[in-house]
Amino acid sequence: AAKDGGRGRYHFYSNDLHSAAEERSKVEEDLRDAIANGSLELFYQPVVCSHDDTIAGFEALLRWNHPTRGWLSPSKFIHIAEDTGLISAIGEWAIRTACNDLAQWPENIRCAVNVSPVQFSNPQLPSIITNAVARSGIAPSRLELEITESVFLNDDEGTDAMFTALKRVGVRLALDDFGTGYSSLGYLKKAPFDKIKIDQSFVRGATEPGSRNGAIITSITSLAKALGMDTTAEGVETLDELDLVRKLGCSHVQGYIYSKAVNTTAIARLLASGPQMKAQGYRSARGPRQTM
């Protein structure tokens, strides 16, 4: 019965499939093949330093090149991967792939990988990461794990132990989508985050008159600074938004204003062209979105 509420989410394949359950098992089957036949790919989106527009690193974002549906974004399949446990294999593959790609890039470049709460509750995660880091030869501090507040939902000794173990591995930790979940300052007290990622819902509309978002962003950045953490503003699209999040103290910026997530060939070309990114303006403040 718990799945009934999610029925609408699975309108993914053709409508002649009778049930959400059938549709899900089709996605599941295709996803199993995807892992085996290499049709999953990591794309990378630049994360840019606020003060000088240089590339600090990238966030790895999963894409699925489906045999009949074309490129699919994670919102179409991550929840199914999580429900079926396939996320463990996908997540491990993503960590290994990101480490191997990092090994091809300059040493000052970091890379963030999203970690599902399902992976986070697997006691094997620290050793999976240790192995991936060792095999690729990268410094562990170049790898950043993005974790959402939902890992604190079943907050227990296991959660604390996982944070301790991950810090011992030497990777960085980022709190993703901050402000959208059960945001509690208690998380910031107990968990050793290196970065807070301010969710794009706070950036969007922040430049509108009367918006409360700017005050919220300001309080997050000053809190982060006091705790010695970086902040990334997510989803920055316009020059006005960029000016604002800089002014409000975000140390890093990520968004279509610089680039969407692109494949490794495009990343190699980008890095070869120098450390600087150019803010392009994905859409104007009022107008419709431009195609890039």
DSSP label at 116?
-
Half-sphere exposure of 200 (CA within 13 A, CB side): 10
- In this structure, are strands 55-66 and 70-72 parallel, antiparallel, or unpaired? antiparallel
Which of 124, 104, 100, 123 has its CA nearest to residue 113? 100
Binding site partner of 237, from ligand C2E, Mg ion, none, Cβ cut-off 5-8 A by kind:
ligand C2E
Cβ 18 to ligand C2E shortest distance, Å: 28
Question: What is the C-alpha to C-alpha distance for residues 175 and 191, in angstroms, rounded to an integer?
Answer: 9
Among 92, 146, 149, 230, binds ligand C2E (CB under 6 A): 146
Q: Confirm or reject binding of residue 46 to ligand C2E (CB under 6 A).
A: no
Binding site partner of 101, from ligand C2E, Mg ion, none, Cβ cut-off 5-8 A by kind:
none
- Based on CB atoms, which residue is closest to Mg ion, 26 or 63? 63
- Based on CB atoms, which residue is closest to ligand C2E, 221 or 232? 232
Part in contact with ligand C2E (CB under 6 A); list of ranges 30-38, 74-82, 163-171, 221-229: 74-82
- Based on CB atoms, which residue is closest to ligand C2E, 23 or 146? 146
Q: Confirm or reject binding of residue 92 to ligand C2E (CB under 6 A).
A: no
How many residues bind Mg ion (CB under 5 A)? The answer is 5
Residues 185-244 that bind ligand C2E (CB under 6 A): 200, 234-237
Cβ 76 to ligand C2E shortest distance, Å: 9
Burial of 223 (C-beta count, 10 Å sphere; 0-12/13-18/19+): middle
Residue nearest to Mg ion as judged by C-beta position: 146
Among 92, 176, 230, 237, binds Mg ion (CB under 5 A): 176
Q: Confirm or reject binding of residue 149 to ligand C2E (CB under 6 A).
A: no
- Based on CB atoms, which residue is closest to ligand C2E, 9 or 17? 9
Q: In angstroms, what is the C-alpha Rg of the chain?
A: 19
Part in contact with Mg ion (CB under 5 A); list of ranges 22-30, 86-94, 146-154, 280-288: 146-154
> Per the structure block, which two tokens stand in for 120?
């986070």
CA end-to-end distance (rounded Å), the chain: 43
Binding site partner of 238, from Mg ion, ligand C2E, none, Cβ cut-off 5-8 A by kind:
none
Report the run of H or E that residue 255 belongs to, with start and end.
none
- The CB density around residue 11, as the number of other CB atoms within 10 Å, is 11
Among 34, 62, 147, 174, binds ligand C2E (CB under 6 A): 62
- Note the residue count of the chain: 292
Question: What is the C-alpha to C-alpha distance for residues 152 and 154, in angstroms, rounded to an integer?
Answer: 5
Cβ-contact 191, 175 below 8 angstroms? yes
DSSP-based three-state secondary structure for 199: coil
Which of 154, 177, 11 has its CA nearest to residue 80? 11
Cβ-contact 174, 193 below 8 angstroms? yes
Contact positions toward Mg ion, by CB under 5 A? 114, 146, 176-177, 234
Contact positions toward ligand C2E, by CB under 6 A? 45, 61-62, 73-75, 78, 91, 94, 114, 116, 146, 176-177, 200, 234-237, 254-256, 261
